Amino acid sequence: MMEKQNKELHVKNRTELWYNIAKNIAIVTAVLAGILSVLMIANFIQTKSVDPLNSQAISQLMTKLQENPEDTVLIEQIRALDLLARKAYFTHQWQIRTGSYLLFTFVLILLLALKYMSSLAPRFPDLTKGPETEKTWESRLLSRKYILYGGLGLVLLAFVLGVLSQTELKKIGIFQPQKNQATSGYASLKEIRDNWPGFRGPEGIGWAYHTDVPKEWDGPSGKNIRWKIEIPYPGFNSPIIWGKKIFLSSADRRRQVMYCIDADSGEFLWQRELNDIPGSPERRPQVTEDTGFAAPTMTTDGTRVFALFATGDIACLDFDGNRVWAKNLGVPENHYGHSSSLITYQDLLLIQYDQNTGGRLLALSTLSGDMVYDQPRDVEISWASPVLVNTGKRDELILNSNPFVMSHDPRTGQELWRVRCMLGEIAPSPAYADGMVYVVNDYARLAGIKLGESAEMVWEYIDDLSEVSSPLASNDYLFMSASYGTVTCLDNKTGERLWLEEFEEGFYSSPILVGEFVYLMDMSGVTYVFKADKEFQLISRNELGEKAMSIPAFMHDRIYIRGTKNLYCIGE
């Protein structure tokens, strides 16, 4: 009996000894682990704030070096800093690694000690108290209550989350295929053709899809003139229309303005002056009187409008006139004044920026104005505007310049084909119909270019050539108007002349195809309507009442013409 008790005591003492040893080990390792953790956290915070591989100090020194490339002291400084930075980075890596392993070891030992200590203390219930199983019902009741609340809470949370998340996207229409434009991101071809979004209409080829328009009107007497409104400052750009909004821009030596006018009432919805664009030149460049400072026609993609001025300022406003972005592209080297109009392709704003210093095709993001590509072109200066059509297999951006007419992929700017056929100062824009491109310039030729495996000129015509007015191609015919008053109609497949008519005044505006008719306005504002046919048949001659150089816009059952002073709305 005594032996057994002695043995028990001996064992008890031994275990107490081990317990104390374990306790001490635990304390030591805990302290060590604690110190190490603090060190590692400090290390982490330090490297978070200063990333050795992207050091501010080094970048600043590098910019200095750009100015003085031969400064050896600076070079030495940079090299020393760089070495330090790299060393710091790798040391930090090493520190993390070693620190983690060390910390792990300490924690492991700590845990072992603690585990040993806790295993020596078994958990027994307090047998003086009952097992308290009668509490089970209460706890069940409680559980039911809380689980029910928990479930309802979860559902409520989920519901709120589900409802809240829908609001912004719902306004846009989520991803459902709907008819309105915003959901698919870009305006569809149908929407583009339903409006008048740029120079010479949708796609820039002079085709109007709203054909139910008046054939007769008279400015001086007011017949079929619904309204007219004076446009404050001068501008030769043509009106563009989306929905019920008409957009114009004007500029003179002192100011640049963009306007929005309501198509029904003919009243200004807003006017915005654009005088504080970053990068805008102090002094306006020289331009000629018949080009002005606001020659390029605006364009719109359905949510925003874009305008370019002779200063190289380009601005983007939304339909309510709020500025989205504006910048300066660099003053164009253009002795008459820049006149190529703007056009959009999906999310890109395309600019034909051909100047005396060389040709360029620019693409800016419509959202931010950031340059997406800047494609140099092997051409000289041009005043023509882009045409953007689907030529069967692909979308092509076709630009007319000296000496080439070139086609580009609007998405990347890469050149697709070129044909050498132009000379001189190019102002007329290309025409397109049915797989053929038509370009013209005075002293060069009128060329019919067939697209296919490669583009080639299949016919040319050299009489009564246009120098400003852009040609118009219908499915069968080609119409060319000149600034000295002639209008020529040719068979567009063969280049054979079908008829030639002479008019009193010359044409700067370009002919527009409206169904079976052609509407063509001369410099005095008189619009001739004739049949788009192999025989000349004049339908009507309509006076405006003032001079006009712009392209009329055709929308719904109305025509909008910008004269030198006023904007007219013609309709029944």
DSSP 10: H
Which of 1, 2, 73, 131 is close enough to bind another protein by CB under 8 A?
A: 131
- Binding of residue 371 to another protein (CB under 8 A): yes
Q: Are 382 and 399 in contact (CB under 8 A)?
A: yes
Shortest distance (Å) from residue 317 CB to another protein: 11
- Binding of residue 150 to another protein (CB under 8 A): yes
Shortest distance (Å) from residue 82 CB to another protein: 4
Shortest distance (Å) from residue 543 CB to another protein: 42
Q: Are 348 and 354 in contact (CB under 8 A)?
A: no
- CB-nearer residue toward another protein: 44 or 536: 44
Q: Please report the sign of the dihedral spanned by the C-alpha atoms of residue 392, residue 397, residue 402, residue 403.
A: negative
The amino acid that residue 450 corresponds to is: K
Helix (H, G, I), strand (E, B) or coil at 180: coil
Number of CB atoms found within 10 A of residue 327's CB: 19
- Binding of residue 140 to another protein (CB under 8 A): yes
- CB-nearer residue toward another protein: 363 or 381: 363
Q: What is the dihedral of CA 500, 502, 508, 512, to 10 degrees?
A: -50
Which of 21, 158, 458, 462 is close enough to bind another protein by CB under 8 A?
A: 158
State both tokens at 2.
Answer: 């005594």
- CB-nearer residue toward another protein: 16 or 496: 16
Q: Near another protein by CB under 8 A, which window of 167-175, 248-256, 472-480, 522-530?
A: 167-175
Q: Near another protein by CB under 8 A, which window of 217-225, 370-378, 520-528, 538-546?
A: 370-378
- Output the CA–CA distances (angstroms, integers) from residue 183 to 173, 179, 186, 201, in the order listed: 6, 8, 8, 24
Number of CB atoms found within 10 A of residue 55's CB: 18
- CB-nearer residue toward another protein: 133 or 454: 133
- Binding of residue 420 to another protein (CB under 8 A): no
Which of 57, 147, 458, 538 is close enough to bind another protein by CB under 8 A?
A: 147
Which of 24, 31, 146, 178 is close enough to bind another protein by CB under 8 A?
A: 146
Shortest distance (Å) from residue 277 CB to another protein: 17
Nearest-CA neighbor of 437 among 398, 411, 383, 463?
398
Q: Which of residues 29-58 bind another protein (CB under 8 A)?
A: 44, 53-54
Cα(149)–Cα(141) distance, integer angstroms:
12
Nearest-CA neighbor of 325 among 353, 304, 355?
304
Shortest distance (Å) from residue 262 CB to another protein: 21
- Binding of residue 347 to another protein (CB under 8 A): yes
- Binding of residue 142 to another protein (CB under 8 A): yes
Which of 21, 50, 57, 120 is close enough to bind another protein by CB under 8 A?
A: 120
Cα(204)–Cα(156) distance, integer angstroms:
55
Q: Near another protein by CB under 8 A, which window of 142-150, 193-201, 228-236, 458-466?
A: 142-150
State both tokens at 202.
Answer: 């949708």
Q: Are 251 and 207 in contact (CB under 8 A)?
A: no
DSSP 355: B
Q: Near another protein by CB under 8 A, which window of 100-108, 292-300, 462-470, 557-565?
A: 100-108
Could you report how far apart the first and last alpha carbons of the chain are, in Å?
127
Q: Which of residues 307-326 bind another protein (CB under 8 A)?
A: 318, 324-325
State both tokens at 61.
Answer: 């020194």
Shortest distance (Å) from residue 342 CB to another protein: 18
Paired residues of 390 in beta bridges: 395
Beta strand segments in 506-556, E: 512-514, 517-521, 527-531, 538-542, 553-555
Cα(232)–Cα(264) distance, integer angstroms:
20
Which of 134, 230, 453, 504 is close enough to bind another protein by CB under 8 A?
A: 134
What DSSP element (H or E) covers 344? strand 343-345
Q: Near another protein by CB under 8 A, which window of 74-82, 193-201, 530-538, 560-568?
A: 74-82
Q: Which of residues 183-202 bind another protein (CB under 8 A)?
A: 183-186
Q: Is 96 exposed, middle or buried (0-12, 13-18, 19+ CB in 10 A)?
A: middle
Q: Near another protein by CB under 8 A, which window of 108-116, 226-234, 513-521, 533-541?
A: 108-116
Shortest distance (Å) from residue 401 CB to another protein: 20
- CB-nearer residue toward another protein: 110 or 473: 110
- CB-nearer residue toward another protein: 70 or 504: 70
Q: Near another protein by CB under 8 A, which window of 164-172, 233-241, 255-263, 349-357?
A: 164-172
Which residues have C-beta within 8 Å of that of residue 20, sequence separation ≥ 6?
A: none
Q: Near another protein by CB under 8 A, which window of 145-153, 416-424, 519-527, 563-571?
A: 145-153
